[in-house]
Structure 1
Amino acid sequence: MLTANSRVLIIGAGWLGLPLAKAMAKLGCQVHLTCTSAAKVESLKNEKLIAGVWPLLLDDNSQVHDIQKIIELSQADIVVGAFPPGFRKANSGDYATKWQLIAQACQVSKVKQLLMYSSTAVYPEQASICVESDALAFNDKAAKLLQAEQALQNFKGSTLVLRLAGLYGPNRHPGRFVKHMKAVSQIANANMIHLDDVIAASLYLLQLQPQSSPSVCNLVYPNQVSKAQFYQAAIQAYPVENMSFPPVDQTLGKTVSCQLLQQLGYQFVYADSLAAIQHC
């Protein structure tokens, strides 16, 4: 359970990990970070809010004791994995193996809670509403994500898996995604979540009493907006001229449910996915 006195280790100081660290530090937590770049380690040492920062390259040569040593140095009672799966990168190591190493290291240390950021890519693209129990290894990517989630079973403390919908926010404007799209559906729902709501929801869920905290929770906006409507709004707000919009089709798609998150009492920072576009 996250409190003002918590000691937190965030593995990954990137687009999500670094702002999450700063938000936790403002709550009074002692926040520690790991980076894969020596240059970034040095730059983050100047961040007054960060209590400590260490280099950590999670690859095929990583060992449990490497991560355990950093956990012990940080004296962390909460560990957060905020690094991407890296499926497109060669020699990035197996994602599930990375999480096995982290879970095992947490188990032999004094860690009380482990948070993993996963993805709503574990739900098949079909015309249905997907709740947390609907995850399925329907393709290679989903199978690898679920294997990584299952790796948390190596840790016997409190675990929290947050399945993130499509991410956008500062330095990640959804308007820039449009040029890579071959077509956009006028029917399929745009399952999206802004960085600010990812951070706010993470803090909210971590501060719940253990008996009230879920083991898995979707982070996605509740509004029903088609992909075509969302990306039309995104391209209008994107400061790039002469960007053409891809063809619109009638492809069906999933709708990821945030009912559990709402039942737990979370209040979204932004009213819906369209409103959040203005904060990128």
Structure 2
Amino acid sequence: MKTYLVPIDFSETAAHAAEFAAALSHQTEVEHIVLLNAYYVSVYETMLPNPDMVLVTEEEVERNAAERQKKLEDFKQELQKKVRPGVQISTRLNRTHLVRAVVENIASKKAGLVIIGSRGNSSNDDAKIGSHVADISKISSVPVIVVPPACAIEQIKRVVVACDFNKVTYVGPLEPLLALLKRRAFEPLVVNISNRGANKDAEKIAKQTVLYEALMPYYPKYYFIENSDIINGILLFAKKSDAQIVIALPHKYSFLQSLLHTSVSKQLLESSAVPVLLLK
């Protein structure tokens, strides 16, 4: 994860996500943060007038682009003061849909992580979660961190790894997590939440799995918790444990099987007071 891609729509939530990325740079080996602003102007808007009989001219489109680029550069200068020394920040302005712009820049910039605010980046100002956030989380080929506006930006000390111990049968799905933990800067709390009773020895169960051996160098703690509402169970556990981020393994290795199939659980992202990292 040497490059982070951060979509920016100039909202407070997007700025908060960028500041989270800057703070994270002090704990990871990131070298480059790309600030991406995408805007789409339909060809019809420049050819046909809108209902108010106003035609968008090419000059107006170019002026809009120049204004956006200026705002990106100004924001970059402020963010540069907050990143780890040596981290490069660049800006990208794409005249296309945001989801497409993210996919293209993941490839062209070789981004290893997308960091996006849980609100904003949406054509619907009333949406509690930006409509594009769900799409990006689902279609991205790399892990995505969704940053809620309520979360405090602080040093990450504890991470909650939410998964079903027995479903991780090989190391592959753990590789992004291991890459994040390799600096040993975080304390992993591995939690399996069940609605069928939690009177079990979590570490004893974990010892029989691939998960235990893979995470052994990072000295994790294992928990088995009973809660009929898995999402709220995770969030409550994270809050009580004073964790700074929740990490969800890819859906088929987790009890959050519907997380990406439902375009990211709104309950998880709206209710969370901590960022949520969705591994791929």
**Structure 1 and Structure 2 fold alike (TM over 0.5):** no
Greater RCO structure (CA 8 Å; 6+ sep): 2
Q: Give me the TM-score of the superposition, normalised by structure 2.
A: 0.37
Q: Give me the TM-score of the superposition, normalised by structure 1.
A: 0.37
Which structure's CA Rg is the greater one? 2
